[in-house]
Structures are given as structure tokens and as C-alpha cells.
Amino acid sequence: MTRRIVLLVAVLLLAALPVLNALPSSNPLYVSDFLVSIIGKWICYAILALALDLAWGYAGILSLGHGAFFALGGYAIGMHLMRLIGPRGVYGHPVLPDFMVFLGYQQLPWFWLGFDWFPFAFLMALVVPGLLALVVGYLAFRSRITGVYLSIITQALTYALMLAFFRNDMGFGGNNGFTDFKELLGMPLNSGTTRAILFYAALAVLVLVFLLCSWLTRTKYGRVLTAIRDAESRVRFLGYDVTQHKLFVFVLSAMIAGLAGALYVPLVGIINPGEFSPGNSIEAVVWVAFGGRGTLVGAVLGAFSVNALKTWLTSVAPDLWLIALGCLFVAVPLLLPKGLIGILRRQGGKKP
């Protein structure tokens, strides 16, 4: 009960931020636009952390490529936002985005068709990461590739996608990506009201995804996943279809990561191939490990705390952030194997 009260208070405090941002700047309770924007990003990162924790913390699937699923979801919504810039088309012929005109495209590529319709773009933000995870997961799990080998495959995947999206002839804006968005669902993205709506949408999705993952991990299916994480060969010997169990959770995790990316892009106003960087996926692993793998709450706590540290450190000593990240990557497994949640539980007298 205490844990639920703490979580409810945390959600209410986050929900109060856009309200406090609407106050006059002279008010002592005023919250700046920058703080609302940065915490909105952290909420999206927390959704990504939940996705990774579901796969790694409960099924033992250490993915170093979840940043790719996150970026694909972001690109899907980014394509929709780019289609909303300028006129929608002349006599049914779609007007090309500016970067396509600059690069000499004569017509809209076939894979851009339909992205002027928001429901289609939102669906693609879930389907594309899910299909990629389905293909990669099926080939890997069917071949019983696990552990560090699977991690290397997923990291190579996100690196390959990053290189591909940097190419101008891919049709995704090259290294500049997409930016200068104007509106979403008829609302101007530069207005305070729209930013507040996007903030609340991200917060609502975070709560719903947390509840979904919490329910799933408490079911029989969730207990089988935990057993697979701890003793995969024994679970296979008992007659469970380990491949199907791991494939389902991997695809679901990828779709949640894509959803996080779809929420992230309208909030920050840009998406480029840098989001595919393997370093971003490694950061997500650090969030989960630092907060507490296999706890869900720890994943959210880790995403917020590590990104708060990153925001502070990159403002006072930018050159030290990568060193700090590397230290966290090494120190957490050695000194905090249960993460922050383990420390809190020990202080509360509970078993870590």
C-alpha cells in the first residue's frame, strides 16, 4: 500500500508541472518551459526503460539495440509531421517535403504513402519496430542464440540502421533527419497548450505501460518468463515453448519502445539518425541496471535519475558525461547489483 501511495504521489507531482508552468514567471511556484520539456523527455525515456526491463529484467533478453526500435517509432511520427508542413497536395498529388526537393526527388517514395494520415503513422510506429523484432527474434531464438551473442546481434542491428539512415538516398532526410515541425492533429506544436497536452499524453502512456507490464509479469506467463531467465534449459525440458514465450515478450517490448519514440519526437521537435546510435541503447541498459533490473519501478527510477545526472553534468562539465556513463556501466553490476531499488528495500527492512 505504501508503494502505491508513493507512486501515486509521484504521478501527481509530474502532472502538476504543466499547471505550474502556466503561472506567471514571478510566482515562486513557476516551473520553466525548459524543465517541463526536459521532464517530458525523461518520461519518454522511462517508457523505453520499461520496455527494456520487460525483455531483460523478466525474460533475460539483454538487448543492446532497443534504441533502434525507439528511433523507428520516432521516424514514423516524424514522417507524419513532415507531411503536414505546407500544402497537403495539389489535385491528389502529394507535395514533397523540403529535403526531397533539395535532393532532387521527382515524386514521393512509395513508403511515404499514407503518412499524411495520423492513425496510419501511429500504427506504423508500433508495427515497424514490432515486425523488425519479430524477424530478428524469430531467427535468433529459433537458433537458441542467447547471452552476449544476442546482445552483439542487436547492437549490430542498430548500428547498421544508423549507417543506412545517414544515407541521403534512403529517403529519410540523411544526417539532418526531420525537424521544423509545425503542427500535430491541427494543434501548433510551438504553443504552450500543445506542449502540455503532449506532456500529459506521455505521462498517461507511462502509467498505462507500467500497469500493463505489472499485470503481465504477475500472470502465469510472467512467471514462466522469469523461469526462462533463471533456467532456460530446465523450462524447455519441462515442455514449455521457450521460443514463443521469448518472441512474444521481445516483440511487445519493441512495440513499447516504438511508442516511446513516437511520443518523444513531437516533444523535442527533431529526429535524426543519431537516435540509432548504439550508445543510446547502452544508456538505456544503464538506466535499468542502475534503477533495479526486473522491478519495473526501478527501470523508471533509473531513467529519471541517470538522465537528471546527465542533464546536470552536461551543463557543468560536458566532457565528463561519457566518462561518468562508462563508470556507471562498470560500477553498477559490481557495487549495485540490485540497483537503487535494492538499497531502498534494504533500508526498509525488506529482502532485496
Q: What is the pLDDT of residue 267?
A: 92
- The Cα 9–Cα 3 span in angstroms is 10
How far out from the chain centre does Cα 204 lie? 15
Q: Which of 89, 154, 148 is nearest to 117 (CA)?
A: 89
Q: For helices 33-52 and 242-268, what crossing angle results, to 10°? A: 170
* Per-residue pLDDT reduced to its tens digit, 87-100: 554 444 467 787 78
Hey, is 61 helix, strand or coil? coil
CA angle 111, 247, 218 (to 5 degrees): 120
Return the minimum-mean-pLDDT range out of 19-33, 93-107, 297-311.
93-107
Model pTM above 0.85? yes
Residue 152 identity (one-letter amino acid):
I
Q: Which of 281, 341, 271 is nearest to 305 (CA)?
A: 341
* Per-residue pLDDT reduced to its tens digit, 25-38: 788 888 888 888 89
DSSP track, 326-343: HHHHHHHHHH-TTHHHHH
Other Cβ atoms less than 10 A from the Cβ of 9: the count is 10
Q: What is the pLDDT of residue 138?
A: 93
Other Cβ atoms less than 10 A from the Cβ of 189: the count is 17
Hey, is 43 helix, strand or coil? helix
H-helix or E-strand spanning residue 247: helix 242-268
- The Cα 28–Cα 24 span in angstroms is 9
